[in-house]
Amino acid sequence: MNNKEADRVAWNNIMLVDPPDSDDLYLRFTKRVFSDVWARPGLGRRERRLVTLTAIAATGNGPILPHHLKPALESGDLTTNELAEWVVHLAHYAGWPASAQAYTALRMAAAELGIEFEDDD
C-alpha cells in the first residue's frame, strides 16, 4: 500500500468516511495526521477522540465538533452518556460557552444518527 492509500485508509478508519478527493497541501497534511498521529502507540482511538474533542471545544472551534462527534458515536468508541458527561466536565475546565457548543453539537449528531439521547441523572 502506498502512502496516499495508507493515508486514505487511516482517515476512513477515524472519520468513517473517505477523505476529500483533493490532494492539495492542506489536505495532504491533514490526511497525514490520521496516518501518523492517530496511529501512534500509547493511546487508543477512544482516548484520542476525547483529546481531539476537548481541544476542538476548548479552542472555540464548535463548528468542527460534529465532524468528530458523529464518528465517535458511529464507531461505538463513545456513547451519548459518556459524551454528555464529557460536556459537563468540559464546562468546568473550558467554560460554559465551549460546553454549550459541545452540548448542542452532541444533540445534533445523535439526532442525525438516530441515537437516543439519554439523561442518566
**Whole-number Å distance between alpha carbons of 17 and 108:** 18
Q: Where are the domains of the chain?
A: 3-37, 45-113
Q: What percent of the chain has pLDDT over 70?
A: 97
**Whole-number Å distance between alpha carbons of 90 and 76:** 21
120 falls in which pLDDT band (50, 70, 90)?
low
**Whole-number Å distance between alpha carbons of 31 and 20:** 10
Residue 35: DSSP 8-state? I
Q: pLDDT at position 16, please?
A: 94
Q: Reduced to 3 DSSP states, what percent helix, strand and coil does the chain have, rounded to the nearest 5?
A: 70, 0, 30
Q: Which residues are within 8 A (CB) of 97 and not within 5 positions of it... i.e. 6 or more apart?
A: 60
Longest Cα separation, the chain? 49
Q: pLDDT at position 22, please?
A: 84
Residue 110 has pLDDT above 80, yes or no: yes
What are the DSSP E strand ranges found in 1-121?
none
Q: How far is CA 111 from CA 44, 104, 114, in A?
A: 26, 11, 5
| pTM (predicted TM-score) | 0.90
CATH superfamily of the 45-113 domain: AhpD-like (1.20.1290.10)
Q: pLDDT at position 119, please?
A: 62
User: C-alpha grid cell for residue 13?
Assistant: 478508519
